[in-house]
Structure 1
Amino acid sequence: MSMNNNGIAATFADLSVNPPLLSNADVRHQQARFARSHLALDTGGALTLDFNVEDPNEIPRARLAITARVPEPGASPGHTPIDVLFRGEALAHEFTVPGDDLSQIHLFEVPARLLRPSGNILEIRASREVSGTLQLYRITVDSVRDGDRSERSLAAVTTRHPVFAFDTHRRSPFSSVSWNEWARLLVHIDWDESSLPAQLSWRGEDGSESAISIQPDMCGFYGYYRAADGTAYEYRGRLNRTWSLTEGIPDGYENISTSALRHFRTEEGQDGGRHGSSELRLWVDDGGAPKARVAWRDQRGSSGVAVMQTASAEPEVTDVKASDEDAEEGAWADFLNDDSEYKWLAREDTAHVDFTLALPTALSSYTLRSAWDDPENDPRDWALKGSHDGDHWVILDRRIDETFPHRFQAREFFVPTGAAAYRHYRLDFTRNAGGTETHLAQVRFLEALTGQAFGYYQPVNGDPIPYRGTPVPEPTT
């Protein structure tokens, strides 16, 4: 247990993980349960924290910080009154933790006369008159002479589990539409700085973009998301899980792929002189297109940007078969795999086309080119499916109400990051633009090849430093 010269250790309880991260503290609770990102106190529940103080005479008073949230039950604002007691004396009685989207830090003063070398018992009791569950994320206790010591120590511990998974929601900012559940967001930024991200922005290869500000305790974020078509949304997230890369993928996250994790060996400098620097790891995965740019600022005030250079390769297609093709008109499915202006035509308003590749390939995107005539036969709804054996199919991408405003127009659609490598792919067209047939001029697949990165890094109170990065080869077994 480390002490500073103010007589109190770094004292914290991080309840966002189970088991909780503790320093100079023992925690007990009743009528409470651990969720993935917090300790939930039910009606009448209580938490007790017991810690030591080396020299109480050195502390004029202590500062208690409780990070908590009460989610809104339905459309009503939630609230939970709590009693906060220290050694049996009330620091607050029926203090109301208001309902909010994000957790809030509530500060309380602990008088010096209550501090003892041992047996410093803090109690948090949830009232029986509640509207919403009290969610506790963390508790810190510090001398006012070093008021953020525990926060600094906790941040250092938290960086040992630097992969953050957020459950996210979005909504239109100019309507009464409620928040809608959206794709999980994974965040990991590591340049050997042992500091947590505070702000983050990124742009996808499809033109989509996001910018978020993350709470200091990493329990949530708020920002915006702009889709590739320009539609903007409010964007928020709640922490669901943290882990370390060395731990592997945790239980419940088996469907996550690390293919979006970018690992670079960097060198920095300018004016012709460069030298090796720290390795950079970036993992920003919102379920959409691969990231073309990522920018960040950490909690210490350092910042950086990475621009990804990603090459693409077109895998070899060895066979194309369709559920139907118009042989009389010579509108064969094979035309989808060449550069001619001929088209494939199915004589039904729904159809599917199967493509066999020379080798199993993980796709980054696919491109559909409209035919030169009859726009009413253009596909409108479809799903891209993958298969290892050509019989059992997995949906990789689904599109609804797409349009091709121009004839012979090529549109690219990105496959969500992390899709597995398949040898067989199927485009299953379930609705067209109102015609009696379905047609296309061309289909192209692209495989993403991890490339280089460049950008700048600016340490706090320092000058920006340009760098470039080359991919670190994955270890072989």
Structure 2
Amino acid sequence: MQPTFADFSAMPVSMSNAGIRYRNCHETSSHLAMGADASTALDFEVDGDEKIVEVTLKMTALVSKVGGSPGHAPVDVLLNGEVLVQGLTVPGGGDLPQDNVFAVPGELLRPGTNTLEIRTAAGARSMFWLYRVTLDSVYERGRSERAMAAEAARDTVFSYSTQRRAPFTSAWRPGPRLLFHVDRGEQSLPAQLGWRGEDGAESAISFQSNMSDFHGHHRAADGTLAEFRGRVIGRGAFPEGTEGVHTHRFRTEEGWGGGWHDSGELRILVEDGSGPVERVTWRDQRGNSGVAALRVAAGRTGAEDAPDVTGQVTVVEVSDEFEEAGEVADNLLRDSRAKWLAGDCEATVEFEFDRPTALSGYTLTSANDFPDRDPRDWTLSGSQDGSRWTELDSRSGQGFTERFESRRFRIGGARVAYSRYRLDITGNGGADEIQLSGVRFAGIAADHFSGYYQRYNEGPIGYRGTAVATPDDSAERERTARLTAELEQAARSLAEAARSVGRLAEWVRDR
């Protein structure tokens, strides 16, 4: 039997192998509200060749309160017009929905479309809140719930409208939008989230299980405390919704058994309108938890600690060089005073890295003689394929005050990794040749984090990570990764279907 469910706690309602029809009902952000004399019909398909002995029906629901009483909203449950349960009274008055599980005889099912109907009594005095309905073959109990959880976990980018109010007051005031994404590839939604900004402000929140709302507190940088709540306004699969904001991506390791072990990628994005964060804590709905104390490297702005990545580069193209005297472009990358000499007042040299590399800056070193050969005007460009180029830095009217002088130049703009870089020198001090003694490249000092991770019912272990370089085709790579994951999920579903067919064949043989 296919995974069959309707999840009314999701917005919009999430369904598989099902269609929904309502009467006297309305959808809320967390459930389907059914008043007196209301009905919900779930239409689902059964393969005509499939023999189902029994079905497990799970209905998750709650009855709303009436004043101080727990409420009263009896329901009847029918399958294809046959009564399964009559006058069922679901416990009410609490805050958590109840799971109600029933055995459905297989002979009540028919090939093709079947209809499960839930009806509230005309005399109901309060609301019947329906959260989820699942149906599974008795031999595959829980299959629909696993499929439902996997579908919900694909949406890992969340956006909330927020409100804040001072303690012991009643007036809520609008706050900035909260956008977040915390994912280490375990297909589990967050239950709690906390973060501290670089300015000292901090927040801690807890979510409804369906992610529709959160509640918590916020402490401003000046120490002002506020109650904090939010309502979801958007959710999607990464990278949807993250355009224009920076997502930290880390290659991580876990520390156990006396060593460090690769543990996949961690992505972190928390944007609440107050600037970068320096610490993020979380607990997911499976009970796993983690802490990441972030260090955003100063090298991203061209500071002195940016690493020298010249050792990863080679010269691949040059417009001209004086080979007879050994004054070739390869000298630019060597730790020596040998130089490159081009016999023209304009010259170009192209470099290639052994892997795509983002740069924060570069250094040019003047040669041993003739200052009028020094570059004055130039442009540095980057490319992924050697044919389409993006201008990264352009200088004019520059000069060197002495021989073998090294001058550093910062590259601004977006942090993009290119595999090729080209230096186009378009002017010098007036000579008929151009010369340089050295070119050095400064990379991006990697962001990194340190913290711990704790799986449910286990002890904490070390957790650390370094930044993953993000090339400019990252969006396409993310789409490819998401498609791959969906195809893998489809393959698993087909494998489950094949196992079901195998069990059916065995059952037929045994008959």
Q: TM-score range by the shorter chain?
A: 0.5 to 0.7
**Partner of 1:190 in structure 2?**
183
Letter in 2 for 1:205: E
Q: Are 2:164 and 1:170 aligned?
A: yes
Superposition CA RMSD, Å: 4.8
**Partner of 2:451 in structure 1?**
455
CA contact (8 A) 2:64 2:126 kept: no
Aligned with residue 63 of structure 1, among 35, 58, 67:
58
Are the structure 2 counterparts of residues 271 and 27 from structure 1 closer, same or farther at C-alpha, using a change threshold of 3 Å?
closer
Output aligned runs, 1:59-458, within 5 Å: 62-66=57-61, 83=75, 85-87=77-79, 88=81, 89=83, 91=85, 104-110=96-102, 112=104, 116-118=108-110, 120-124=114-118, 138-141=132-135, 149-173=143-167, 175-246=168-239, 248-249=240-241, 257-269=243-255, 273-311=259-297, 451-458=447-454
Counterpart Cα distance in 2 of 1:289 and 1:152: 37
Are the structure 2 counterparts of residues 159 and 57 from structure 1 closer, same or farther at C-alpha, using a change threshold of 3 Å?
same
Are the structure 2 counterparts of residues 51 and 178 from structure 1 closer, same or farther at C-alpha, using a change threshold of 3 Å?
farther
CA contact (8 A) 1:83 1:90 kept: no
Letter in 1 for 2:472: T
Letter in 2 for 1:267: E
**Partner of 2:377 in structure 1?**
none
Are the structure 2 counterparts of residues 452 and 62 from structure 1 closer, same or farther at C-alpha, using a change threshold of 3 Å?
same
Counterpart Cα distance in 2 of 1:123 and 1:23: 17
Are the structure 2 counterparts of residues 141 and 303 from structure 1 closer, same or farther at C-alpha, using a change threshold of 3 Å?
same
**Offset at 1:476?**
1.8
Are the structure 2 counterparts of residues 21 and 460 from structure 1 closer, same or farther at C-alpha, using a change threshold of 3 Å?
same
Letter in 2 for 1:233: A
Counterpart Cα distance in 1 of 2:169 and 2:152: 37
**Offset at 1:308?**
0.8
How many residues are paired up? Answer: 327
Aligned with residue 18 of structure 2, among 25, 40, 49:
25
Are the structure 2 counterparts of residues 218 and 83 from structure 1 closer, same or farther at C-alpha, using a change threshold of 3 Å?
same
**Offset at 1:452?**
1.9
Q: Deviations over 1:317-348 (max 9, x none)?
A: xxxxxxxxxxxxxxxxxxxxxxxxxxxxxxxx
Structure 2: give runs of 5+ residues left out of the alignment. Answer: 303-412, 415-444, 474-511
CA contact (8 A) 2:64 2:93 kept: yes
Counterpart Cα distance in 2 of 1:24 and 1:465: 41
Letter in 2 for 1:466: G
Are the structure 2 counterparts of residues 105 and 15 from structure 1 closer, same or farther at C-alpha, using a change threshold of 3 Å?
same
Counterpart Cα distance in 2 of 1:295 and 1:200: 6
SS of the residue corresponding to residue 259 of structure 1 reads coil
CA contact (8 A) 2:201 2:221 kept: yes
Are the structure 2 counterparts of residues 288 and 86 from structure 1 closer, same or farther at C-alpha, using a change threshold of 3 Å?
farther
CA contact (8 A) 2:52 2:137 kept: no
Counterpart Cα distance in 1 of 2:100 and 2:257: 53
Letter in 2 for 1:116: L
Counterpart Cα distance in 2 of 1:238 and 1:92: 37
Counterpart Cα distance in 1 of 2:127 and 2:446: 45
Give the number of the structure whose alpha-carbon radius of gyration is greater: 2
Higher helix share goes to which structure? 2
Counterpart Cα distance in 1 of 2:101 and 2:44: 16
SS of the residue corresponding to residue 269 of structure 1 reads strand
**Partner of 1:406 in structure 2?**
none
Are the structure 2 counterparts of residues 130 and 91 from structure 1 closer, same or farther at C-alpha, using a change threshold of 3 Å?
closer
**Offset at 1:305?**
0.9
CA contact (8 A) 1:292 1:309 kept: yes
Q: Are 2:462 and 1:476 aligned?
A: no
| TM-score (structure 1 length as normaliser) | 0.54
Counterpart Cα distance in 2 of 1:46 and 1:176: 41
**Partner of 1:374 in structure 2?**
none
